[in-house]
């Protein structure tokens, strides 16, 4: 079976795009081949900075022949229909069609079309130019003379040559004959830009990869990564250091070289006075070099590891010297930034936030910091945090955003705040809270445990959520530009992992005060407007206008958005908090589902009134899950569902509900009386257990209901002929439903 080799040789492809491009190329070509009836044994694609390559082996030499039956018009159909049929099928006359009998609907013509399969190489020659022209680069460009013409080829960077060969292992392969924008496919490629620039000819994948290697190109990105990692580790180890591994950086540098050469350089020890994270960020981001640890101290050593693309004639001495120069300059900058930052106290940076807009509708960063501070101090007592420390931490939490180091390396935000806070003698938990208030950032991030950090972290996230909820910027589908899902999940993790007990609704509601207050001042009751009214009142001497202005100004003065919700906006505020709460519920469901819990149980608990204590919800869900695994649980669920179904039907029939206590005097059967007694008992016990937050006990109490419910359905006919008895029994059924609601809304359980 023949194999296909394809190489697209271009100028340097951005490292971050290479892996996906190789994948796309393989997928696009193989999909198209399969669609053309050309199935294959295997396919693999590769990328280097200068080439995308694809090998597909075990392709058939020809497409299979296609046989197609096309149903035509009835025998004796009008001529127009016959002509249409002949045209569509390519038959010359009806003599070439066969007639199929159909006693019911009448006989009709059938055309048998046979299409001979084409040579695979011809099909490939058609497929590839289309794929090249429609290739999904994140950004593509035009170049050269041809770029002046409409429809010019676009590629990620100028495309220079194409290798495309097709043939059996044992034979000389054929070149697939096509060209794209004047580039003719052939079998000539080039090696390393500097070490082996000469052209050479290739036949098939095996010699292609081997010849490239001889020409100082490692085709397989995984192999380049393996080389870099192994060499870097060895180089560090040989000098008594330990490589700090960095997958993202490894992926990137492996896309910047065709022939990796790992070298080590050093920098002046005095730079080690800069925090290690800053050194690493400087060296990583700007120079794309690795850093190493000194295993004796566990701290960063004054060495770095670089990956060059060339075996230099001096063994790399000039390359190392050059990189050291640049890193020295970069670290000088970083040191200067760090030392400059240390000269300004964090709190002295606060006034600048007045001029920085956080979000057009949510005000400046200063406003946001004030909100977080207020909310954090409100949360502090609920999570056992010292209020004054919390206030301090919240007030300083964002100040490092204005430091030079964070300006240069945004990824060390929070962390630098911690260092600067330490340096100016802040309390330990205050400093730690500055770093931790951003956490947890993702599913694998550390969750803060210090109460002060917890309070500020919760306030930061809940303020963000309440704010974007208030201005209706909620996440939709895949769009979540403000990472609100992550913020909600952060709140959930903070609560659950620290076993925090507090009600989320009042906090979410309170978080809305200053935000709605802001809107109120901005839109509904601008103070300037009141002043204008007074000015006019004075000019025209209208007592009435002056009184009106006074009223409005008075309202402005009297209203403090930190203390209360805008009068008359309570319901908007409540709706906002409720909507936010159901978002938390959704996120909790996702979280619990990932942990293997049933999401319908979460629904069943959330459906109860006033469920906003996340920890209790989770405990209840756990207890409910266990209960429903028992026979008692399953049967009670079945009984409750049956009761609900009957009620639903009868309520619909009678167009009424059957609320209210049943009348004991109307009970006829013993089973009715027993059920009523059981319900009373269970209701009391379950409510009692729930009040003690003992959900297992509440479930055990529920279990007592089961025999009575079973017996009732066994022996008693609900729809009695006596209307009063019937109504009473329906009320009893309603009581079952009501009793179970002490633990969950069973109707939500699937």
Partner 1 sequence: MDSTPLHMRPERSFQGLILTLQRYWADHGCVILQPYDMEVGAGTFHPATTLRALGPKRWNAAYVQPSRRPKDGRYGENPNRLQHYYQFQVILKPSPPDIQELYLKSLAAIGVDAALHDIRFVEDDWESPTLGAWGLGWECWCDGMEVSQFTYFQQVAGVECAPVAGELTYGLERLAMYVQGVENVYDLNFNGREGADKVTYGDVFLQAEQEYSRHNFEHADTAMLFEQFKMAEGACRKYLEAGWDGDKKERHLMALPAYDQCIKASHVFNLLDARGVISVTERQSYILRVRELAKACGEAWIHTEAGGV
Binding site for partner 1 (CB under 8 A): 11-12, 14-16, 49, 139, 141-149, 156-158, 160, 194, 256-257, 287-289, 306, 308-310, 312-314, 318-319, 321-323, 325-329, 332, 355-357
How many other β-carbons are positioned within 10 Å of the β-carbon of residue 695? 23
**Cβ proximity to partner 1, 1 vs 357, nearer residue:** 357
- Spatial contact of 200 and 190, defined as CB atoms under 8 Å apart: yes
Kindly report the backbone phi and psi dihedral angles of residue 123, in degrees, each rounded to the nearest multiple of 5, phi listed first. -65, -45
Spatial separation of the C-alpha atoms in residues 429 and 413, rounded to whole Å: 17
Shortest separation between residue 10's beta carbon and partner 1, angstroms:
11
Spatial separation of the C-alpha atoms in residues 424 and 417, rounded to whole Å: 11
**Cβ proximity to partner 1, 14 vs 60, nearer residue:** 14
**Cβ proximity to partner 1, 366 vs 608, nearer residue:** 366
Spatial separation of the C-alpha atoms in residues 305 and 299, rounded to whole Å: 16
Spatial separation of the C-alpha atoms in residues 549 and 167, rounded to whole Å: 90
**Cβ proximity to partner 1, 146 vs 668, nearer residue:** 146
The answer to whether the Cα torsion of 38, 39, 40, 45 is positive or negative is: positive
Shortest separation between residue 314's beta carbon and partner 1, angstroms:
6
Q: 203-239 in b/e burial notation, b at 16+ Cβ within 10 A?
A: bbbeebbebbeebbbbbbbeebbebbbebbbebbeee
Shortest separation between residue 196's beta carbon and partner 1, angstroms:
12
Shortest separation between residue 17's beta carbon and partner 1, angstroms:
8
Shortest separation between residue 158's beta carbon and partner 1, angstroms:
7
Spatial separation of the C-alpha atoms in residues 252 and 440, rounded to whole Å: 26
Instruction: Select from 367, 377, 373, 422 the least CA-distant residue to 400.
Output: 422
**Cβ proximity to partner 1, 18 vs 165, nearer residue:** 18
**Cβ proximity to partner 1, 188 vs 310, nearer residue:** 310
**Cβ proximity to partner 1, 312 vs 366, nearer residue:** 312
**Cβ proximity to partner 1, 116 vs 148, nearer residue:** 148
Q: Report the 3 state secondary structure along 211-265.
A: HHHHCCCCCCHHHHHHHHHHHHHHHHHHCCCEECCCHHHHHHHHCCCCCCEEEEE
Instruction: Select from 589, 526, 515 the least CA-distant residue to 553.
Output: 526
**Cβ proximity to partner 1, 284 vs 486, nearer residue:** 284
Query: If 0-12 CB within 10 Å is exposed, 13-18 middle and 19+ buried, where does residue 328 land?
Result: middle
How many other β-carbons are positioned within 10 Å of the β-carbon of residue 139? 9
**Cβ proximity to partner 1, 321 vs 661, nearer residue:** 321
Shortest separation between residue 516's beta carbon and partner 1, angstroms:
24
**Cβ proximity to partner 1, 39 vs 146, nearer residue:** 146
Question: Which residues have a Cβ under 8 Å from the Cβ of 336 and sit 6 or more positions away?
Answer: none
Spatial separation of the C-alpha atoms in residues 634 and 149, rounded to whole Å: 73
Spatial separation of the C-alpha atoms in residues 675 and 510, rounded to whole Å: 44
DSSP state of 285: I
103: enclosing H helix or E strand: none
**Cβ proximity to partner 1, 197 vs 443, nearer residue:** 197
What beta strand segments (E) does 253-362 contain? 261-266, 290-294, 299-308, 357-359
Instruction: Select from 256, 219, 213, 258 the least CA-distant residue to 46.
Output: 219
DSSP state of 397: T
**Cβ proximity to partner 1, 265 vs 517, nearer residue:** 265
**Cβ proximity to partner 1, 292 vs 675, nearer residue:** 292
Shortest separation between residue 613's beta carbon and partner 1, angstroms:
41
**Cβ proximity to partner 1, 171 vs 199, nearer residue:** 199
Shortest separation between residue 144's beta carbon and partner 1, angstroms:
5
Spatial separation of the C-alpha atoms in residues 444 and 8, rounded to whole Å: 39
Shortest separation between residue 254's beta carbon and partner 1, angstroms:
13
- Spatial contact of 705 and 637, defined as CB atoms under 8 Å apart: no
Shortest separation between residue 396's beta carbon and partner 1, angstroms:
22
Shortest separation between residue 482's beta carbon and partner 1, angstroms:
19
Distances (CA, A) of 445 to 144, 438, 565, 649: 48, 10, 35, 50
**Cβ proximity to partner 1, 119 vs 186, nearer residue:** 186
Shortest separation between residue 284's beta carbon and partner 1, angstroms:
12
Shortest separation between residue 308's beta carbon and partner 1, angstroms:
4
Instruction: Select from 381, 362, 564 the least CA-distant residue to 463.
Output: 362
**Cβ proximity to partner 1, 267 vs 712, nearer residue:** 267
Shortest separation between residue 358's beta carbon and partner 1, angstroms:
11
How many other β-carbons are positioned within 10 Å of the β-carbon of residue 346? 24
Shortest separation between residue 19's beta carbon and partner 1, angstroms:
14
- Beta strand pairing call for 290-294 and 159-167: unpaired
Shortest separation between residue 193's beta carbon and partner 1, angstroms:
8
Shortest separation between residue 120's beta carbon and partner 1, angstroms:
32
Q: What angle, 0 to 180 degrees and rounded to 10, lies between the N-to-C axes of helices 614-628 and 570-594?
A: 50
Spatial separation of the C-alpha atoms in residues 245 and 258, rounded to whole Å: 21
């Amino acid at each position: 079976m023949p194999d296909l080799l394809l190489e697209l040789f271009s100028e340097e492809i951005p490292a971050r795009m290479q892996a996906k491009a190789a994948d796309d190329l393989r997928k696009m070509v193989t999909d198209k081949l399969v669609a053309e009836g050309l199935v294959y044994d295997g396919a693999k694609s590769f990328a280097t900075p200068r080439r995308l390559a694809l090998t597909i082996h075990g392709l058939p030499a020809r497409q299979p022949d296609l046989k197609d039956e096309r149903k035509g018009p009835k025998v004796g159909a009008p001529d127009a229909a016959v002509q249409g049929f002949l045209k569509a099928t390519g038959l010359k006359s009806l003599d070439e069609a066969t007639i199929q009998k159909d006693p019911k609907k009448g006989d009709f013509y059938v055309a048998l079309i046979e299409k001979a399969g084409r040579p695979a190489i011809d099909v490939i020659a058609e497929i590839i130019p289309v794929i090249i022209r429609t290739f999904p680069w994140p950004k593509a460009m035009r170049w050269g003379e041809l770029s002046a013409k409409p429809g010019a080829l676009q590629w990620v960077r100028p495309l220079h040559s194409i290798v495309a060969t097709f043939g059996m292992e044992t034979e000389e392969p054929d070149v697939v004959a096509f060209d794209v924008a004047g580039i003719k496919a052939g079998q000539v490629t080039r090696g390393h830009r500097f070490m082996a620039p000469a052209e050479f000819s290739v036949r098939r994948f095996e010699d292609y990869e081997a010849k490239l290697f001889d020409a100082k190109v490692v085709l397989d990105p995984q192999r380049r990564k393996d080389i870099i990692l192994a060499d870097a580790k060895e180089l560090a180890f040989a000098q008594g250091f330990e490589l700090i591994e960095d997958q993202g950086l490894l992926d990137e540098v492996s896309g910047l070289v065709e022939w990796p050469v790992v070298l080590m350089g050093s920098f002046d020890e005095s730079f080690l006075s800069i925090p290690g994270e800053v050194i690493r960020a400087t060296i990583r981001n700007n120079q794309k070099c690795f850093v190493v640890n000194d295993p004796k101290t566990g701290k960063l050593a004054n060495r770095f590891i670089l990956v060059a693309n060339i075996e230099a004639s001096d063994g790399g001495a000039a390359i190392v010297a050059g990189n050291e120069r640049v890193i020295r300059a970069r670290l000088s900058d970083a040191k200067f930034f760090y030392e400059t930052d240390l000269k300004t106290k964090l709190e002295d940076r606060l006034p600048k936030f007045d001029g920085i807009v956080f979000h057009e509708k949510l005000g400046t960063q200063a406003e946001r910091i004030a909100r977080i501070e207020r909310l954090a101090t409100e949360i502090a007592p609920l999570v056992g945090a010292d209020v004054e420390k919390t206030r301090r931490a919240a007030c300083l939490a964002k100040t490092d955003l204005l430091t030079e180091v964070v300006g240069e390396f945004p990824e060390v935000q929070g962390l630098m705040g911690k260092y600067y806070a330490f340096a100016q003698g802040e309390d330990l938990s205050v400093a730690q809270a500055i770093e931790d208030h951003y956490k947890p950032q993702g599913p694998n991030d550390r969750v803060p445990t210090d109460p002060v950090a917890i309070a500020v972290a919760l306030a930061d996230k809940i303020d963000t959520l309440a704010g974007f909820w208030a201005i209706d910027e909620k996440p939709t589908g895949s769009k979540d530009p403000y990472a609100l899902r992550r913020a909600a999940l952060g709140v959930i993790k903070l609560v659950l992992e620290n076993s925090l007990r507090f009600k989320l609704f009042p906090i979410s509601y309170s978080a809305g005060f200053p935000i709605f207050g802001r809107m109120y001042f901005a839109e509904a009751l601008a103070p300037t407007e009141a002043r204008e009214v007074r000015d006019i009142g004075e000019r025209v001497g209208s007592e009435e206008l002056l009184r009106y202005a006074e009223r409005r100004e008075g309202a402005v003065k009297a209203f403090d958005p930190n203390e209360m919700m805008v009068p008359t906006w309570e319901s908007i505020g409540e709706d906002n908090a409720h909507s936010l709460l159901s978002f938390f519920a959704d996120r909790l469901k996702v979280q619990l589902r990932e942990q293997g819990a049933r999401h319908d149980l979460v629904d069943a608990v959330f459906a109860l009134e006033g469920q906003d204590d996340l920890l209790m919800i989770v405990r209840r869900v756990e207890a409910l899950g266990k209960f429903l695994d028992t026979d008692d649980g399953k049967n009670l669920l079945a009984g409750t569902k049956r009761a609900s179904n009957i009620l639903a039907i009868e309520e619909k029939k009678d167009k009424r509900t059957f609320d209210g206590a049943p009348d004991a005097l109307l009970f006829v059967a013993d089973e009715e009386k027993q059920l009523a007694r059981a319900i009373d008992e269970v209701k009391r016990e379950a409510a009692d257990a729930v009040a003690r937050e003992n959900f297992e006990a509440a479930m055990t109490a529920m279990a007592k209901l089961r025999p009575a419910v079973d017996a009732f359905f066994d022996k008693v006919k609900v729809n009695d002929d006596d209307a009063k008895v019937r109504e009473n029994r329906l009320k009893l059924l309603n009581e079952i439903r009501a009793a179970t609601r002490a633990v969950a809304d069973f109707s939500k359980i699937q």
